[in-house]
Amino acid sequence: MTYMKNVTTLEYNRDLCSGCGFCTTVCPHEVFKMDNRKAAIVDKDNCMECGACMMNCPTGAIAVDKGVGCAYAVIVSKLRGSEEISCDCGGGECEEESSSGGCC
pLDDT digits 0-9 by tens, 15-66: 999 999 999 999 989 999 999 999 999 999 888 888 899 999 999 999 998 7
Q: What is the pLDDT of residue 64?
A: 93
81 is in which domain, residue-wise?
1-92
The answer to whether residue 77 is domain-embedded is: yes
The answer to whether residue 97 is domain-embedded is: no
Instruction: Give the count of domains, the chain.
Output: 1
CA distance 74 to 54: 19
Give the chain's mean pLDDT: 78
CATH of the domain at 56: 3.30.70.20
The answer to whether residue 24 is domain-embedded is: yes
Nearest Cα neighbor of 23 from 8, 9, 36, 38 is: 38
The answer to whether residue 80 is domain-embedded is: yes
